[in-house]
């Protein structure tokens, strides 16, 4: 069984670079915009994509090698356009391990967005607040992550032997760039928004965690828990992108809750703060643009 798994991934990964090239070429045929920043919008947070100027939207179904987003709250479109005078590429909805896709399939769009020109990845998600000080509606800057599936062998880099994909053994210390985090803090302070800073743990899903699991996650250093992001960040670092991650805390996940969490309640909580989220992300994009134009 292990042997089969090895060969399947290896066979697919030798073609991965060609897939990236083909997907990027198809996107360039629809838009010649060269984005400098890539934005991934998480569950219930996709509305921001509608604020792009001069936007061109491409359905994932029309991009070779992109799979389908099977989650109702994820629109499944890639957009190229302008946000705060910055050329951006936006994923309105992402792919997840729990949809049954392999890690290198889930993360293909990150490689494609880099190939299109993006140097910075701003990644967002909806997450449960494992830290008892976090409240629904708060934001958290991701300082570091724990990628639980990766610790068990499900890294998006498994099976690689193609140098064109990047360093096979990338370092992930400081994966979330301190300068970008500092920029985000300045923006949040100016907007009077609660922005915690902590560790995001990615679990496989799609079930939510048991109380015992949440207590365990807290013990190992988790502040927020979700089902995405960490594997995208691993690939972003492999391809040399600068990374900033923002979680929206949609529910309390300390293991002591009396009520039940559901996907619907998570999406509704995210939609309830869509205005504040949009202002924060736009402010951060503006700040990044200003800083990168400084001599």
The contact set with ligand HPA (CB under 6 A) reads 126-128, 208-209, 225-227, 250-251, 253, 261, 266
Q: Is residue 269 flagged as an active site residue?
A: no
Q: Single out the catalytic residue among 49, 55, 75, 99.
A: 99
Q: Is residue 101 flagged as an active site residue?
A: no
Q: Is residue 207 flagged as an active site residue?
A: no
Minimum separation from the CB atom of position 215 to ligand HPA (A): 13
Q: Single out the catalytic residue among 38, 55, 73, 74.
A: 74
Q: Is residue 145 flagged as an active site residue?
A: no
Count Cβ atoms within 10 A of the Cβ of residue 190 and give its class: 0-12 exposed, 13-18 middle, 19 or more buried. Answer: exposed
Q: Is residue 15 flagged as an active site residue?
A: no
- Whole-number Å distance between alpha carbons of 23 and 43: 24
Considering beta carbons, is residue 147 or 208 the nearer one to ligand HPA? 208
174: three-class secondary structure by DSSP: coil
Q: Which residue is nearest to ligand HPA (CB)?
A: 128
Considering beta carbons, is residue 23 or 217 the nearer one to ligand HPA? 217
Minimum separation from the CB atom of position 273 to ligand HPA (A): 13
Q: Single out the catalytic residue among 24, 227, 253, 269.
A: 227
Q: Is residue 251 flagged as an active site residue?
A: yes
- Whole-number Å distance between alpha carbons of 245 and 281: 11
Considering beta carbons, is residue 14 or 206 the nearer one to ligand HPA? 206
Strands 224-226 and 120-129, sheet pairing = antiparallel
Q: Is residue 73 flagged as an active site residue?
A: no
Considering beta carbons, is residue 131 or 160 the nearer one to ligand HPA? 131
Considering beta carbons, is residue 94 or 242 the nearer one to ligand HPA? 94
Q: Tell me how crowded residue 23 is: count the other CB atoms within 10 A of its CB.
A: 23
Minimum separation from the CB atom of position 198 to ligand HPA (A): 14
Minimum separation from the CB atom of position 64 to ligand HPA (A): 30
Rounded to 5, what percent of the chain is helix, strand, coil? Answer: 40, 25, 35
Minimum separation from the CB atom of position 269 to ligand HPA (A): 8
Strands 120-129 and 86-92, sheet pairing = unpaired
- Element housing 151 (H / E): helix 148-151
Q: Single out the catalytic residue among 43, 73, 247, 252.
A: 43
Q: Is residue 85 flagged as an active site residue?
A: no
How many residues are there in the chain?
295
Report whether the peptide linkage leading into residue 114 is cis, meaning its omega lies within 30 degrees of zero: no
Minimum separation from the CB atom of position 223 to ligand HPA (A): 12
Closest-CA residue to 233 (of 161, 160, 151, 142): 142
Residues 6 or more apart whose Cβ sits within 8 Å of residue 143: 176, 181, 197, 198, 199
Considering beta carbons, is residue 53 or 268 the nearer one to ligand HPA? 268
Active-site residues, by number, are 43, 74, 96, 98-99, 126, 227-228, 251, 263
């Amino acid at each position: 069984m292990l042997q089969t798994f090895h060969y399947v991934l290896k066979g697919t990964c030798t073609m991965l670079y060609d897939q990236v090239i083909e997907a990027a070429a198809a996107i360039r045929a629809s838009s010649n915009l060269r984005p400098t920043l890539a934005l991934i919008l998480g569950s219930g947070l996709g509305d921001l994509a509608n604020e792009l100027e001069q936007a061109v939207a491409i359905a994932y179904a029309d991009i070779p090698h992109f799979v389908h987003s099977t989650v109702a709250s994820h629109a499944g479109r890639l957009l190229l356009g302008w946000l705060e005078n910055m050329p951006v590429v936006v994923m309105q909805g992402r792919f997840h391990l729990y949809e049954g896709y392999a890690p290198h399939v889930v993360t293909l769009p990150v490689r494609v967005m880099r190939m299109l020109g993006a140097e910075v990845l701003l990644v967002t998600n909806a997450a449960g607040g494992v830290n008892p000080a976090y409240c629904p509606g708060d934001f958290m800057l991701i300082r570091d992550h724990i990628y639980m599936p990766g610790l068990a062998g499900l890294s998006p880099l498994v099976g690689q032997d193609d140098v064109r994909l990047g360093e096979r053994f990338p370092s992930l210390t400081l994966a979330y760039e301190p300068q970008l985090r500092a920029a985000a803090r300045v923006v949040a302070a100016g907007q009077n928004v609660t922005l915690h800073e902590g560790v995001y743990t990615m679990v496989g899903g799609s079930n939510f965690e048991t109380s015992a699991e949440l207590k365990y996650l807290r013990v190992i250093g988790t502040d927020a828990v979700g089902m995405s992001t960490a594997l995208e960040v691993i690939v972003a670092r492999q391809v040399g992108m600068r990374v900033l991650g923002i979680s929206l805390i949609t529910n309390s996940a300390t293991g002591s809750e009396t009520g039940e969490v559901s996907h619907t309640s998570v999406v509704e909580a995210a939609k309830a703060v869509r205005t504040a989220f949009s202002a924060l992300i736009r402010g951060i994009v503006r700040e990044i643009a200003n800083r990168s134009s400084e001599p």
